[in-house]
Structure 1
Amino acid sequence: MKLFISRLMPDPILARAQKDYAVTLRPEAVRPLSEDEMVDALTTHDALLVTLGDRFTAEVFQRALAAGGGKIRARLIANFGVGFNHIDADAARAAGVEVTNTPGAVTDSTADIALTLILMTCRRAAEGERLARSGQWQGWGPVEMLGQHVTGKTLGVVGFGRIGQAIAQRCLYGFGMDVIYYNRSAKDAGFPAEKVDDLHDLMARADIVVTAVPGGNTNIVDGPALAAMKSTGVIVNIARGDVVEQDALIDVLQRAAIAGAGLDVYRDEPAVPAALRALDNVVLLPHLGTSTLEVRLNMGNMALDNIDAVAAGQVPPNRV
């Protein structure tokens, strides 16, 4: 069975893959696949292990079908990651290609990065670190670098799946925060959390808002939602860059209509708008949500488990 891997992977994942399959490894660390590369991989390999940025659109599948005389060789696209909005899963299935992801493997690390951004934004840690490095720090003073307390505040979580609940649990038990959430259905998280049915109501009540919805919820936090926030409010996005309307966010930050934002994702990654980079009231991270070796190993093994299942003629465990 021929397996195409679109990016460099941790050594143990490559070793496992190469032991069981005829592997074509594309020697790229971050550059996404081009459309031509995707079409070629679909028509020359039995399974593909791909990741964020590899945009398998309906057009890609149509081109691959045309190139293959109406049939695609690949039986599976195993996505390395939980979010799969870069893959048109409906078009894949229509072309006879299964799509899988790696749910669960990323929950704790993504929740941890949300807490990192909450603390960094509320306590102005990135701004303070830049000041200390600059050599311009003048010393401690009673009104210097004042941030805001995290303990005892109200957390609003937009999207209350695995990751949203893990963030809420950390904030409740670690910082005594009250938890409210916006979600299509009510969730029994096993700890106190109030479902709020109106997003604008949640944005208005929360001191800190964290987005944890899956990809595909484009601009769910739009200009009017941001306008509903308190002037002391903080928003953190660890979901997908297009979940928050980026231009509207830049506007409220430039006007200091909210206190700050912490971002790990961006609309047009890896591009980070100059307007965001120029602001002191936003913390910018380069998509570090799952960036630990333990998590990347778990993700890789889960992706290979899905490939193994398809190779054995079984239903993959993480079909989307």
Structure 2
Amino acid sequence: MSAKILITRKLPPDVERRAETFFTIKRNKGDVPMDQARLVELADGQDGILATVTDRIDAATIERLPATIRIIANFAVGTDHVDLEAAARRNIIVTNTPDVLTDATADIALLLLLGAARGAAQGMAAIRENKWANWAPTGMLGISLTGKRLGILGMGRIGQAIAKRAQAFGMKIHYHNRRPVETVDATFHATLDELLEQSDFLSINCASTAQTRGMINARTLALLPKGAIVVNTARGDIIDDDALIGAVKNGHLAAIGLDVFNNEPNIDPGYRALPNAFLLPHLGSATLETRNAMGFRALDNLEAFFVGKPPRDRVV
């Protein structure tokens, strides 16, 4: 008898077809984010869960999961929505999907850098609202990337991919990481404060942890040079929303570009009121090729586990 797997959201057709060849599948038919009670209810009688970032699997939820659940395969790299310590206490394996979304997310980071720097939000609004009167030598002037210092907070796979792309635009790369990365042609800063002081642009690419949540706040934003630009493709909770919105309003920041937010999709309404905020709805990994690869990687981990092999991407 095949293992029984709860898939919490609708996945690309090729991924679902492959899942059906190996497992007995239970689906979230409405394809809407479930609350914890509904997740626990649907997990009854299942052997594993293929979860996504919209599933808030906290300690209380894990404690209520049926004893049959032995693995949570995460359809994402980040695992901040899963309480890993609680999973370990229940001997529930947790896996993720590294590597496969690096390029897609790095592409979005460059889109945010360009969109924020060149005033894409204002330009699009002028076209859509029929407010573009004419071309002018001083109209809609943006900021060039060439020659500017890009500070990368978190030089993992995605940070390194962003660095390579930004170097092609002539940017000078600086970064802060837990330790230097020998393969990166960039300037390492041992502290976040040092990085911020040297960053005309800041790209946030670190994981969401107890140490990084709220790291970009009023104090740290003030360390950026006046007129800096901040972009985020990591997690929304790394940023203090009030502080970031305030830094744009008071002119300390020239613009921002965000693909991730606190409390998605119920973002702080203050962002919508900023004309120089280039905002995207969490599109980092949103290509068909990438989402297929993420699903296949999650299934690789599930299939390995249920045939008695170590999952490739085990985090717990």
What TM-score, normalized to structure 2?
A: 0.96
Whether the 8 Å contact between 1:6 and 1:28 is mirrored in structure 2 is no
Inter-partner Cα distance in structure 2 for 1:90 and 1:275: 35
How many Å apart are 1:63 and its aligned residue? 2.3
SS of residue paired to 1:259: strand
2:13 equivalent among 11, 14, 20:
11
Change in CA separation of 1:41 and 1:76 when aligned onto 2, cut-off 3 Å: farther
- 1:142-189 C-alpha deviation (Å, 9 max, x unpaired): 1110111111111100000000010011111x1111111011111023
- 1:191-240 C-alpha deviation (Å, 9 max, x unpaired): 42111112122112111100000122201212111011112100000000
Correspondence 1:276 to 2:277:
no
Correspondence 1:154 to 2:149:
yes
The one-letter amino acid paired with 1:192 is D
Tell me which residue corresponds to 2:282: 287
Correspondence 1:185 to 2:179:
yes
Inter-partner Cα distance in structure 1 for 2:216 and 2:291: 29
The one-letter amino acid paired with 2:78 is G
Inter-partner Cα distance in structure 2 for 1:12 and 1:139: 48
How many Å apart are 1:38 and its aligned residue? 2.3
How many Å apart are 1:41 and its aligned residue? 3.8
Inter-partner Cα distance in structure 2 for 1:164 and 1:256: 27
Change in CA separation of 1:14 and 1:175 when aligned onto 2, cut-off 3 Å: same
1:1-320 alignment runs, 5 A limit: 1-29=3-31, 31-64=32-65, 68=66, 72-172=67-167, 174-189=168-183, 191-216=184-209, 217-320=212-315
How many Å apart are 1:37 and its aligned residue? 2.1
SS of residue paired to 1:77: strand
Structure 1 unaligned blocks of 5 or more: none
How many Å apart are 1:300 and its aligned residue? 0.2
Inter-partner Cα distance in structure 2 for 1:19 and 1:44: 19
The one-letter amino acid paired with 2:49 is L
SS of residue paired to 1:279: coil
Inter-partner Cα distance in structure 2 for 1:192 and 1:84: 29
Inter-partner Cα distance in structure 2 for 1:50 and 1:84: 10
Whether the 8 Å contact between 2:121 and 2:276 is mirrored in structure 1 is no
Structure 2 unaligned blocks of 5 or more: none
SS of residue paired to 2:253: coil
- 1:84-137 C-alpha deviation (Å, 9 max, x unpaired): 100001101211210000000110000000000000000001210110121111
How many Å apart are 1:20 and its aligned residue? 1.1
After the TM superposition, which parts of structure 1 deviate over 2 Å for at least 4 consecutive aligned residues? 40-43
* Overall identity of the aligned pairs, in %: 39
Aligned residues: 311
Inter-partner Cα distance in structure 1 for 2:299 and 2:64: 26
How many Å apart are 1:42 and its aligned residue? 3.9
How many Å apart are 1:7 and its aligned residue? 0.3
SS of residue paired to 1:151: coil
Inter-partner Cα distance in structure 2 for 1:231 and 1:145: 19
Inter-partner Cα distance in structure 2 for 1:242 and 1:171: 25
The one-letter amino acid paired with 2:85 is D
How many Å apart are 1:252 and its aligned residue? 0.6
